[in-house]
A and B are shown apart, each in its own frame.
Chain A
Amino acid sequence: MDTTTNDLNMNLFDRVLDKLCLTPIGLAGLILLLILPFIPPFNQEYMLRWLIYCGFIAAMSVGFDFTAGFINIVNFGYMAVAGTGGYTSALLVLNAGLSPWIAMLAGGVSSAILGLVIGMISLRLRGIFAACLSWFFGLAVMGLAIKMVWLTRGPLGLRVPRLFETESNFPFYFLIVILVYLTYLICKWVVRSKMGLAFQAIGQNMDAARTSGIDPVFYRVFNFTMSCAIAGVLGGFYAHFYGILTPDMMHTSKTVEVLAVAYIGGRGSLWGGAVIAFPFIFLMEIVRSTLSHLPGLNLVIYALVLILVMIYYPGGFSYFYDTHIRQPKNRALRYFLNGRDA
């Protein structure tokens, strides 16, 4: 929790940045993301599609980290939760004629309800057991999407109207960048409040947290529900961007992509995954497209990188950044990296 937020000496720019949970370098990064599609070679449509996928994984990893990095429960069914939101949204548009924008939010609500259920059931479980439970829930939901052919058309997939009625990917790109930032901002706001302290306490030492007066039931379920709601909205975006929705998107291997990015980015940082996702997933997409005769190679690379990070550098990128880059001697540079409160 920040204790220096109310420093009156900060000027307006710094105060706005602080409220927006950004450092100057973070703002620069965000601006870079917004002008990226105008810079060759990124202005090509297929590259843009990759970047949109990067953005999707980035936002998902923030929502994932909100649970994994704070209350220390790895939600192995995270993509299935997102898929639930995606399917809800798609079905509402197809069958009830709702606008995709509203349907996306409804998707968030449905995922939140699923999250509430998983959260309540996994309440008594710790660590790996809660992870397994969420994983099985994910598999069950995916199984439903495959088997309920009358509703979801099973593995054939649903054809879903896109959010913008244009062939171009540009508007989608800007939307996902906004969604990445919004996800980060909302999570960061919650984490900065008293709640963040409670989340961390529960995640780091349940017994000490309880004897310190924290009611784990409320905070765990709240955290889980919120992170699932985020996944649901993003799942809606996924459905209305690709225009086709198959149960494949709920697969555990997709969750592993999110998990890998969140862990490599650094657990408990929120921003680490979002930053790492763009270069990392982009690289993976290049690998996948150039080595298309070796399907699944990207998954092998995910696994390798993840294992290496977990064993040799469990802090991930954010830890590396905080310990080696964040405190340079130069004052201007330090301001650029930290904002005013350093």
Chain B
Amino acid sequence: MIVLETQNLTKKFGGLTAVNAVSMTINQGDIVGLIGPNGAGKTTFINAISGLNPPTSGMVKMFGKETTGLTPEKMCRLGLSRTFQIPSPFPKMTAIESVMTATIFGNPAGKSDPVAHSREMLEFVEFPMKETVVAEQLNTVQLKRLDLARALASSPKLLFMDELASGLSEGELKDIMRIIDKISKKGISILMIEHIMQLIMAVCNRLLCIQFGTKIAEGPTQEVANDPKVTKAYLGE
């Protein structure tokens, strides 16, 4: 089943084309890696899909229904959730409150006990601190876990992860891989922006590579990773 499909998705900022006619599909159960050099338009691409920065032209379809330009809150209720590159939950809220926000407002099924569900999410991402800790006291690694718990609390069917693993140590990377695996086992399809090839090669089944806003390769992980166009984009001529 196709979870998400984009057709010629384009985002322009004035004269600058940040995303240029990118078409792609994500199937049920996929873990798709979105790769590309810095400034390629990866984040802009997922912003355009999730509604934070609506696309200039092109089409987005979720589960076969058109969702182009819907607001992020509507996309959230349709089952799309995301984490942020700079993890930024709500600085003055406690961890459990941050997660409860998404549980209460983003969960289309509605939860009879939002506290219990939020607690479950924090446990799921192996949040290392007490649930009453205030978010602004957390370090980046902990914030990323918290942001992930918040994103999962709305029971998404598709999850965007924006550089979840950047800046992690070897051991933390192993933990994150295990968590990604758990998320996938829950039946959630994943699109992840990532630079760490080690992680991408280990968890992704398909890759999408964009450069200067244009798709240069899409397909099974090994194939794309060995594509000369992709190596060239990363390493130059």
Which residues from chain A sit less than 8 Å from chain B, CB to CB?
Answer: 1, 3, 194, 197-198, 200-201, 204-205, 207-216, 268
Contact = CB atoms under 8 A, between A and B. Distances in A.
B104 to A, nearest CB: 6
A208 B97 contact: no
A213 B90 contact: no
Interface in B32-50: 50
A189 B147 CA distance: 28
Dominant secondary structure at the A interface: helix
Given A211-B76, A213-B154, A198 B92 contact: no
Contact of B73 (A194, A197, A210, A268): A210
A215 B107 CA distance: 13
B81 A211 contact: yes
B93 interface: yes
Contacts of A213: 73, 76-77, 102, 105-107, 154
A201 B90 contact: yes
Contacts of A211: 50, 52, 72-73, 75-76, 81-82, 106, 151
A268 B93 CA distance: 11
B150 A197 contact: no
| Interface size range of chain B in the complex | 20 to 34
Given A213-B106, A213-B107, A207 B101 contact: no
Contacts of B77: 213
A200 B73 contact: no
B72 A201 contact: no
Contacts of A3: 96, 115
A212 B102 contact: yes
Contacts of B81: 211
B72 A1 contact: no
16 contacts: A197-B101, A197-B105, A200-B93, A204-B93, A205-B90, A208-B84, A209-B90, A210-B52, A210-B71, A211-B72, A211-B75, A211-B81, A211-B106, A213-B102, A213-B105, A215-B73
Contact of A204 (B51, B73, B90, B153): B90
A102 to B, nearest CB: 38
A185 to B, nearest CB: 22
Contact of B92 (A1, A204, A208): A204
Q: Which A-B residue pairs are the 3 nearest by beta carbons?
A: A213-B106, A212-B102, A213-B76
B91 interface: yes
Contacts of A214: 73, 101, 105-106
> Looking at A1, A208, A213, A214, which has the most chain B CB atoms within 10 Å of its CB?
A213
A1 B100 CA distance: 10
B54 interface: no
Nearest to A216: B73
Interface in B86-133: 88-93, 96-97, 100-102, 104-107, 115
Contacts of B88: 205, 207-208
> Looking at B77, B93, B101, which has the most chain A CB atoms within 10 Å of its CB?
B101
Given A197-B101, A213-B102, A208 B115 contact: no
A212 B97 contact: no
Nearest to A1: B97
A45 to B, nearest CB: 43
Contact of B52 (A1, A207, A215): A207
Given A210-B73, A213-B77, 17 more contacts: A1-B97, A3-B96, A197-B105, A198-B101, A205-B91, A207-B84, A207-B88, A209-B90, A209-B101, A210-B72, A211-B73, A211-B151, A212-B76, A212-B154, A214-B105, A214-B106, A268-B92
Contacts of A207: 52, 72, 84, 88
A208 B102 CA distance: 9
B102 A197 contact: no
A147 B92 CA distance: 44
B204 to A, nearest CB: 23
B153 to A, nearest CB: 8
A200 B76 contact: no
B193 to A, nearest CB: 15
> Looking at A200, A204, A208, A211, which has the most chain B CB atoms within 10 Å of its CB?
A211
A65 to B, nearest CB: 14
Contacts of A194: 104-105
Nearest to A194: B104
Contacts of B153: 212
A214 B75 CA distance: 11
Contacts of A205: 88-91
A83 to B, nearest CB: 32
Contacts of A208: 84, 88-90, 147, 150
Contacts of A197: 97, 100-101, 104-105
A201 B92 contact: no
Nearest to A198: B105
Nearest to B51: A210
Contacts of B52: 207, 210-211
Interface in B127-163: 147, 150-151, 153-154
